[in-house]
Structure 1
Amino acid sequence: MATVHRLNAPGKTSSSMSDCSHQITELDIAVSFVSQYLIHESLIGKIKSCSRASTTTHRKGSWMRHGIKVASAAVLAGLIVATTATPAAADLWPFDGIPPDKSTHSYCYTSSVTTGLKSYIPGAMNYLDSATNIPGVPFHSPCETTNSETDGTPATDVAWFEVWVTDAYGEVECKVRTASNPNVCDQNHTRINSSMIKTSSNAHQQYIKTVCHELGHTTGLNHYGPLLSPPEPPGAFGQPQDCMASGDVTRIGDVTGTWTHTYNPHHIGHINPHWA
């Protein structure tokens, strides 16, 4: 996983607040579930209207609050139906706003990478090559660390590191931009935290998922949180789990399943158009 994103639990207000404020709090809780799937801003307007209504006289405020309560509930219900009925691309691509270059997706090992980690990387690279439109995943040795402006050749796309990462199994960071376009990534530093992986209950499967996961980030894929409450979908509704899931592999699903080392159709649908 690159930067770890956390969803804060919705706050609760005091029960001594007005009926209108209490209804907003309930809606807020519901919105915290639905908002991550691109809820329309009209609901915000309903909540603001409710807030204004609470400043009127008690008698007038009562019927206004009731009407707003019904309208807000209807809007929310309609949005939930629309969201669940029509699967949508809820995630961002590229996840960090920096797309990779469109050439081959080459890779290399820095001196920090041990023999143990090296045993997991080629399989993930070969799968990426076979499952997508990427025109090859050549291995570079040593790592090319500068863009073409410096020496005429582009940097290696994926430079693997085996280093400590705070509170994460791994992370990806674009460290070299292309010479022709500073908004395009020429090289990602892909860091694997073996120290943390080795403490997991199934280190072998955690290595498999983490390498696939961080490699996915180098192609621009975003991660999702199946262990959050409520859980995030695998990129879009109706998609199967895949290695872009964040968290402990043993808590997400069957560790022997193919999801630990593959990308689902939605995520491949992000990669292929870029390299088409």
Structure 2
Amino acid sequence: MFKFFIKKNFCDGWDNFFFLVLSNAITIVLLFGAYFALRAADSINPYLPFAAFILVSGILMVQLFAWGANAAKLADFRSPSFAVFFSALKSVWKIGFAFGAMIALSLLLARFAIAYYLTLYFRDGNVIGLVVTAGLGWFLLVSAISLQYFIPLYFLQENNGFKKCLKKSFIIFYDNVFFSIELFIYNLVIFVISCVTFMIIPGLNGIVLSSMNALRLRLYKYDWIEKMSEQDPDFEKNRDKRNEVPWDELLAEDMESLGPRKLTSFIFPWR
């Protein structure tokens, strides 16, 4: 399943290369704006950058959230458009800003908490400081892996508000730990490549597309479980049976839609 996900995600990005680059241009402009806003805030007051960080994080996340509407279309083999992006801005700006602000505030609180408890350990030799620091570190890591699903959950499932997206993100992580870790590593690789290309490609929008593709394919598992549970009420409680997911069967339609993409088709798309 993961191999097909990588193939599909690459094809979606390649086939919409210029659209992705233009979309990332908006993100780059916002990142530059955030940088200068933080510098300006620091010159006014040493504590103001913290508030500015929360504000710019919320604004940046609104843009990524709105682009999620196009990512959902691409994941579903449909065409993206800037009309979809600007239309989505009107409906997602509240949840997008709240999500970005929550992440920024959490990072700031974690930063000060970790600094405090590490000082407590190295200065006073208090082991509790080290234990709490380790606990916070693991919590941040699990949260980072889980929240990959937040934006996709909003677009791939109806009636998912802020709380539902947050709750379901952790549920999906705990039910698909190894897959979630693989996706996280994959997204980290995309982020490193994006840094090398100055966020031009794949960029942050490429990471949103990656998470969207991953969750869309993974949700087939739950459709299958629901179908099997209708036939056997005890099926969902049997973890051994639940883990025997027939991915070849579930992905057959998507594989057919994507088609056999050879290397030459990427270099010479007209062939």
TM over 0.5: no
TM, length-normalised to structure 2: 0.25
Higher strand fraction (1 or 2): 1
Higher RCO (C-alpha 8 Å, min separation 6): 2
